Amino acid sequence: MMDISPTEVIETQARRTLGRRKDRRTWILWALRSSAPLWAVVLAFLIGAVVLEIAGIDPLRAYGAMLDGAVGSWAAVGLTLQKSVPLILSGLGVAFAYRCTLFNIGAEGQLYIGALVGTVLALYVPGLPAWLHIPLCLLGGFVGGAIWGGLPGYLRARRGLSEIIMTILLNYVAFWFTSFLVHGPIQEPAGYYPQTEPVPDSAVLPIFWDAGRLHVGFLIALAIAALVHIVLFRTALGFQIRAVGHNPKVAQHAGISPVRNMIIAMLVSGGLAGMAGIVEILGVQRRLSDFFSPGYGYDAIAVALLGNANPLGVVIAAIFFGALRAGSNMMQRSVAVPAAVAGFIQGITVLFVVIAGAIPQVHVHWGLRKERHG
């Protein structure tokens, strides 16, 4: 029988203890990450209630009106889902880039360019059947957004320039370029308003649920969310993008090109945001104007954060933000609460999501320090 020294016994027990600590820390890390969006929303609404109370408005009555406007009837549910469509698509775009550790702040600009390109194809390529015209416009929107997102992606990957700064600047370029066109070259013939003429019926997305006039763009958005999930988690391309996002240097040593994958990630990200723009035009607005987006591209950042950059989470977060938008209108009409309150809740939600997302990292860092010094 082998003799086991006291030192070996102590080392074995120490390894087991460290293993249990790591398992416990892993579980806590998972729990914090998973529950962060929920607690962020709860805290945001609590703070919103305090603000409403200070303003002399009954929070329960205000939130009741918001809930009624979001899900109080089938028409309200349809409106909530309708408003979630551009948020799903642009949120997926931001999340896709984020998986490669790229911060696409330019979804709003990409959304405008996608809407512009798709609208031009809808107006100036006439005579096509709907089964061909609609996909052509959607493809045009994707390509337009992809170009607008791919440019900062290329400069980030090849030259090391900040994609955050470039995408922010391109937002302004996209908006003012679109504004220039709808005030002149592609303005409606009457010239009364800064907008194009209506797109032809062959390019309009059909309504599949009359409640809230919910168009097939919602089904398209869900299908694309499923496709993005498959690409990210079931393909070699998705693995490479996530590997580069986790550690570009290690990925490069493993034969994965950070440059190639960063460019692809921003192309896809911009393309999805561009598709969000043209879907909003073909499904809801029916014509392009310079203020057709109430900030969907900026909300997409919050949607991606709230959804933990996961396609399913993005869909849920987008529907939540769609409910905020739909409910804020009812809250404003019935309780005389400014619609900006919903925007305030969105901003507070993003703040708490960022804070909650940092808590697990602080926990791990603190645990490692204790192990080293303890």
Task: Give the chain's domains with CATH numbers.
Answer: 66-338 (1.10.3470)
> Residue 23: what pLDDT?
62
> Residue 161: what pLDDT?
92
H/E run at residue 111 = helix 107-124
160-215 pLDDT, tens digit each: 999 999 999 999 999 999 999 999 999 998 888 899 999 999 999 999 988 778 99
Res 67 pLDDT > 70: yes
242-294 pLDDT, tens digit each: 999 999 999 999 999 999 999 999 999 999 999 999 999 999 999 999 999 98
d(CA 213, CA 259): 43
Res 1 pLDDT > 50: no
> Residue 5: what pLDDT?
53
Query: pTM, whole model, 2 decimals?
Result: 0.86
d(CA 334, CA 345): 19
Contacts of 49 (CB under 8 A, 6+ apart): 59, 63
Res 371 pLDDT > 60: no
> Residue 22: what pLDDT?
55
CA atoms within a 13 Å half-sphere pointing along the CA-CB vector of 154: 7
8-48 pLDDT, tens digit each: 544 555 555 555 555 666 666 666 666 777 777 788 888 88
**Band of pLDDT at residue 54, cut at 50, 70 and 90:** confident
Per residue in 128-154, is it b (16+ CB within 10 Å) or e — as a string? beeeebbebbbbbbbbbbbbbbbbbbb
Mean pLDDT calculated for residue range 95-118:
96
